[in-house]
Structure formats: C-alpha cells, structure tokens
C-alpha cells in the first residue's frame, strides 16, 4: 500500500501552513495537526509514503534527501509526528518553517490566474556576444549556468551565477528580477532547453536566448570580464588566525547555521541577501561560505551586481571545512 502525500507529509518533515499568509496560518496549522493525528493515525506502519518534494525545497523544514519512506519510519524519526498537544504542535510547526520567499506570492497569483500560453520554449536562440553586450545596455540580465569555479575564472560583469540543475528555478526566483529580459550563459555541457523550462515554471517568460559560443566567444570578442577568486578552507582558517581577520559571510539556512558555523561569521541566508546588502561592509573583502560553494557563488554574484567588487568564494564551503576538522561554534 502506498500513500501519495503531496505537500502534506515529507520524508523528515511536514508541509508548511503559512503560505496563504498570517491570517490563515494558525487555522491551517491546526488542520495539519488533525491530518497527522487523526486522518492518517489508523494507517499501518508499512504504508509507503511518496511526497511531492525532497531536500532543497522550501515547502517544509529539514526534508530528507530520501525520495520515499514509510509511515512507521516517519512516526519514529520525524520530529513533527511526535505525540504532543495541538497547541505545542502548532507552535513547533510555525517556528520551524523556512523564510517565506517573495516569489511565492507571485507564483500564487500565476497559479490562480493561469500562466501565459506559450507557442514554444523561449530562450533557444543563440545570441552572438556583441548582441548580448547591446542587450545588457537595455537592462537584460545574464544567468550564468556554469559551476562556481568556471564562473569565478571569468564571467560577464553583472551576471548571476546559478548553476544548472534541480535548484536553478528556486534560486533564480529568489534573486533574479522578473521584470528584465534574460540571457543564459553556459558551456558545452549545459542543457539550455532544460534550463529554460525550469525558469518558465517559476514565471520567467522573458528569456531571450543564450550566449553563442559561451564565455570562450565572449573573451575572444575582447569584451569586459569579471572574476571571483576561489579560496580553500585551510587558507581561510589560516587568515582567521591573523590579527587582521577577514569578514566571513555565511549564506546557509538558519538550521544549517545553528548546527555549527565559523566563529565570527555573519549570517544572511542567500535568498535574503538582495534585501540586506547594506549589512555588508563596503570597504572590506567579503569571504562567502555556504555548504558546498553553490549558494556562496550565487551570493558573490549578487554582491558584485550590487557594486561590491572584493568578494571571495570559499570553495567547498562548510562541507570542506568540516572535512578538514576545522573549528566551528554554535549559538544557543
């Protein structure tokens, strides 16, 4: 027997009840309690659950990377399914939800009204470098789909670095403005059509095309480049022991931050960074760290677009930091 749990029950988590706004969240959290402790209470432990989302989604807190589970396993391991009073459950669930992304409001409207009907997938036109340069003067934005180290080596000034893959649409929706034409930049291994489809799903319909020939063609055309230095964790650790300590910005989620972070680091989640640029000192180099280097590279591109030139991406992030057994601290 299997249960398709959609956005209700995830592996390691539950759906968030706050997406319809503050007025509805208490009521929906109460209904979530009833769903857990009444509606599925009589189902046997062996029932398989198949949720609609997994790790990386903002539709719940602390989802596991496992694609499926069983009710018995979740009853034993899922902290949100523990036996507790309704009031305590509601408080726990509402305190646990990740920050509400701004783009959810836009997607709520699009889902209610219906998305525009497209005749074909936009963005599949190859645009020569000089035409891309002209488009930039007309407020186009570049989404660079390459890996952080490739982006750091050379990229079009002002580009957002959001690597292609399953997290592209989510992070683009967090940081890329909707009211600008979009041009993609990739390399030989980039699936442009797949990237376009991912962006369309979160409301980006203004994709004009992609950079013909990639960064190689851009460089050969003699056009301006920007760079982001990549720093290893051992070098950062050494610098932190000096009298002139570097400024470290941690852009991971609140849960990751609480689990352990570099002492003295400043915490601003990557998705919130565009609204908190003023918290970053303008006169200091900023060393940006996340879990692996993916989100920190997004953050360095956001900082560069905001005019902060002295940014460094910490290669490997806290995963590499912990692998080297370097010290962390926690805040109670």
- Which residues form the catalytic set? 290
CA angle 285, 289, 292 (to 5 degrees): 145
C-beta atoms surrounding 207 within 10 Å: 21
CA 193 to chain centre: 21
Which residues is 311 bridged to in the sheet? 286
3-state DSSP of 151-162: HHHCECCCCEEC
Can you tell me the distance from the alpha carbon of 87 to that of 36, in angstroms, rounded to the nearest whole number?
Answer: 14
- For residues 228 and 159, the answer to whether their CB atoms sit within 8 Å is no
Rounded to whole angstroms, the Cα distance separating 294 from 289 reads: 9
Return d(Cα 52, Cα 4) in angstroms, integer: 8
């Amino acid at each position: 027997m299997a249960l398709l749990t959609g956005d209700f029950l995830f592996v390691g988590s539950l759906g968030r009840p706050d997406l319809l706004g503050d007025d509805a969240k208490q009521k929906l959290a109460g209904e979530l309690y009833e769903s857990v402790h009444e509606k599925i209470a009589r189902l046997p432990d062996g029932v398989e659950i198949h949720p609609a989302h997994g790790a990386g989604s903002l539709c719940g807190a602390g989802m596991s990377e496992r694609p499926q589970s069983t009710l018995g396993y979740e009853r034993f391991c899922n902290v949100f399914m523990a036996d507790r009073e309704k009031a305590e459950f509601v408080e726990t669930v509402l305190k646990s939800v990740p920050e509400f992304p701004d783009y959810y409001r836009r997607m709520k409207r699009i889902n209610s009204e219906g998305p525009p009907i497209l005749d074909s997938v936009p963005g599949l036109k190859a645009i020569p470098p000089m035409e891309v340069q002209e488009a930039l003067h007309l407020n186009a934005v570049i989404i660079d789909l390459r890996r952080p180290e490739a982006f750091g080596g050379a990229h079009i000034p002002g580009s957002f670095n959001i690597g292609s893959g399953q997290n592209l649409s989510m992070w683009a929706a967090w940081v890329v403005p909707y009211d600008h034409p979009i041009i993609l930049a990739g390399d030989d291994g980039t699936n442009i059509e797949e990237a376009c489809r991912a962006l369309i799903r979160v409301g980006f319909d203004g994709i004009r095309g992609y950079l013909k020939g990639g960064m190689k063609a851009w460089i050969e055309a003699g056009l301006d480049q920007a760079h982001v230095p990549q720093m290893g964790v051992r070098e950062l650790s050494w610098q932190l022991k000096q009298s002139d300590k570097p400024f470290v910005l941690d852009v991971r989620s609140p849960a990751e931050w609480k689990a352990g972070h570099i002492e003295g680091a400043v915490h601003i989640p990557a998705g919130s960074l565009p609204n908190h640029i003023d918290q970053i000192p303008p006169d200091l180099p900023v060393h940006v760290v996340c879990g692996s280097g993916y989100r920190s590279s997004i953050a360095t591109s956001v900082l560069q677009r905001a005019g902060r030139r002295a940014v460094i991406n910490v290669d490997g992030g806290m995963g590499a930091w912990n692998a080297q057994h370097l010290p962390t601290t926690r805040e109670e």
